[in-house]
Amino acid sequence: EGVALRLRRRGRRHWEVTAKWAGQVSGVLHERPELTVELAGPPVMPFAVPAGPLHVHLAAVVAGQPLRPLLITKIHRRRIDVLKADAADAAPVLAELALDRVQLCGPDGTPAPDRYCEVEVERLHGTRRDLGVLARVLRAEFALTPSADSKFARGLALVYGPESVARPVAVTVQPQDTVAQAARKIVGVHLRRLRRYDPGTRLGTDPEALHDMRVAIRRLRAVVRT
């Protein structure tokens, strides 16, 4: 469904859970909505999404199913603040530059055969243009290669093989499709729409979300009847 759920320990005792949506990638820029909440203690498996905003946004995706880890990621990270060349001491930080050394493991703790390093830049008070300039400098000075994949997608490929990463598929019904293939595509379209508008309907802050969800349900019922 284009959502990755990350459990992360910060320091020795603090745990948090973050939902990351697929978002969009344009060149070297990744824009992915995310929502993070603190956990009261270490997570227990199978993991249950805690009540609150995270549960509201993921209820239609999780559908009450137990959640178990797919990847364990061990990251050694060094952070560097990025400022303008002539910035004063109190100037806002444009971005945070993270130098990561990554070791991936399967859910049983078996390490992946390869480790890798990456540079991740997170925009703070800078602009998209600032990020573009910084990316060009990093590529020119250090021969870095941009990646369109997230850490999660890269981890799946390294631990389970490249075929494990789901790629976008065409949802348009084709003349050569069987009835079953056409039905799956059409049902999938309306299920994705239903799940997209579910959080807004639960929150009750946007009447359009409720309207769009009802439309998706009516169309889904019509498809099933047909």
Per-residue pLDDT in tens (0 to 9) along the chain, 226 residues:
578 899 998 777 889 999 888 777 776 677 788 889 999 888 989 999 988 888 888 888 888 888 999 899 888 989 988 887 777 777 788 889 899 999 988 888 888 888 888 888 888 888 888 888 888 888 888 888 888 777 888 888 888 887 766 655 557 888 999 999 989 899 988 888 888 888 888 888 778 889 999 999 999 999 889 8
CA-CA-CA-CA dihedral for 100, 105, 110, 114, to nearest 10: -50
CA distance 174 to 21: 29
Count of other CB atoms within 10 angstroms of residue 156: 21
pLDDT reported for residue 113: 80
pLDDT reported for residue 84: 79
CA distance 9 to 96: 20
pTM, entire model = 0.69
The tally of CA atoms less than 13 A away on the side-chain side of residue 125 is 9
Count of other CB atoms within 10 angstroms of residue 186: 18
